Amino acid sequence: MASASSAAIFGTAAASDGCSRRVFATTNVQVRASRTSPAFLRTSRAIKTYASCSNSSVVNAALITEASAKVIDGKATAKEIRGEIAAEISKMKESSGVVPGLAVILVGERKDSATYVRNKKKACESVGIKSYEVHLAEDCSEQEVLKHISVFNDDPTVNGILVQLPLPSHMNEQNILNAVCIEKDVDGFSPLNIGRLAMRDREPLFVPFTPKGCIELLHRYGVPIKGKRAVVIGRSNIVGMPATLLLQREDATVTVVHSRTKNPEAITREADIVITAVGQPNMVRGSWIKPGAVVIDVGINPVEDTSCSRGYQLVGDVCYEEASKIASAITPVPGGVGPMTIAMLLSNTLTAAKRAYNLE
């Protein structure tokens, strides 16, 4: 299973020569931020020189053996979760005559943003969430965006509101995000919600999608968290930091590794659970992983690949080829955390609706 998935991840070309020996030049292809995508980690980061995996002297002898890690299949898990959500919404509709509603506000003509919004809409429809969309012109005023947020705040059929980021530069992002009422702020990034996540006797209204997806994968794959050593690599507001808080809530002993950390390799090697969210292709090598550890790779990094029709392939922060031979379980990229993010958006929207309609 692991080998098959490994091949699937790297594509046909990669299956034959792994991720070694390929070094690509940086191009100008931009990867844009989305508020509900791990790609947010890499705002405006260009496709990079490919950090090769296997031709390093640090590679451990164990790497010569076959891949042994169980593949944590985010795509299949997300599908399963979407099925559960759809069933719950169907029952909700039957018993109460209501369905959850999600509103997305898109400003401007960015293709990537339009794609994200389209995908969210599709995902909503697939589980029975009613989706609302407002598409405003690039040069519209902040006031206009705020007006739409206010309408959605007051609309009882809308349970979640998402503003697709980035917004045009003439707008104050914080003003706009703060305007979404906390009961409908399903992405869970408001400071009040993050504070509740950090505090031991409080409950957050919503857990941010991507870290929630990481923990959900650990749960569904039966990975124990309590009392385990965990390392989170990266400390972004949208993944690393809330993932740390979530692991701490589940009684892991957590260390946060970041750009100022000395000897991140040795620290990471102590962890039973590793979550990476840095946006550095193949940064985490096999030698960073403790044998038997569980690896959750949030990074989705585009690296140039002229053999692909689109000119690039997606790889994680972890050198999958190496780490899958050391870890006991690992998420592939793509097909790991990525699909979970949108499933968690649907889950949070359902939670918001149940709360609004007193169906909890």
Could you list the residues that contact its own copies (CB under 8 A)?
190-202, 226-227, 229, 235-237, 241, 245, 248, 251, 253-258, 260-262, 267
Nearer to its own copies, 70 or 249 (CB): 249
Residue 245 CB, shortest distance to its own copies, in Å, is: 7
* Cα-to-chain-centroid distance, residue 323: 20
Residues in the chain, how many? 360
> In this structure, what are the phi and psi dihedrals at residue 18, rounded to the nearest 5 degrees?
60, -150
Residue 251 CB, shortest distance to its own copies, in Å, is: 4
Selecting among 48, 120, 325, 354, the annotated active-site residue is: 120
> Which amino acid does the sequence have at 342?
I
Selecting among 48, 73, 130, 164, the annotated active-site residue is: 164
Within 10 A of 68 (CB to CB), how many other CB atoms are there? 17
Q: Kindly tell me the sign of the dihedral angle through the C-alpha atoms of 136, 137, 142, 144.
A: negative
Residue 90 CB, shortest distance to its own copies, in Å, is: 35
Residue 191 CB, shortest distance to its own copies, in Å, is: 3
Examine the residue annotation and report whether 111 is marked as an active-site residue of this protein.
no
Nearer to its own copies, 11 or 224 (CB): 224
Q: Which residues contact 287 (CB under 8 A, 6 or more apart)?
A: 58, 59, 60, 265, 269, 322
Check if the beta carbon of residue 159 is closer than 8 Å to that of residue 206. Answer: no
- For residue 334, whether the previous peptide bond is cis, meaning omega lies within 30 degrees of 0, is yes
Q: Which residue has the tokens 């947020």?
A: 149
Nearer to its own copies, 111 or 262 (CB): 262
Nearer to its own copies, 47 or 231 (CB): 231
Q: Which residues contact 17 (CB under 8 A, 6 or more apart)?
A: none
Nearer to its own copies, 123 or 271 (CB): 271
Nearer to its own copies, 101 or 204 (CB): 204
Examine the residue annotation and report whether 313 is marked as an active-site residue of this protein.
no
Residue 258 CB, shortest distance to its own copies, in Å, is: 7
| Pairing of β 312-315 and β 301-304 | antiparallel
Nearer to its own copies, 60 or 253 (CB): 253
Beta bridge partners of 134: 105
Q: How wide is the angle at C-alpha 50 spanned by C-alphas 45 and 53, nearest 5°?
A: 130
- Residue 343's Cβ-count burial label (10 Å; 0-12, 13-18, 19+) is buried
Which of 264, 215, 210 shows the shortest CA–CA distance to 237?
A: 210
Selecting among 73, 184, 185, 187, the annotated active-site residue is: 187
> What is residue 289's DSSP assignment?
S
Residue 193 CB, shortest distance to its own copies, in Å, is: 7
Q: Rounded CA gap, 199 and 180, in Å?
A: 23
Collapsing DSSP to helix, strand or coil, 343 comes out as: helix
Examine the residue annotation and report whether 17 is marked as an active-site residue of this protein.
no
Residue 146 CB, shortest distance to its own copies, in Å, is: 20
| Pairing of β 229-233 and β 253-257 | parallel
- Any idea which residues carry the catalytic annotation? 120, 164, 187
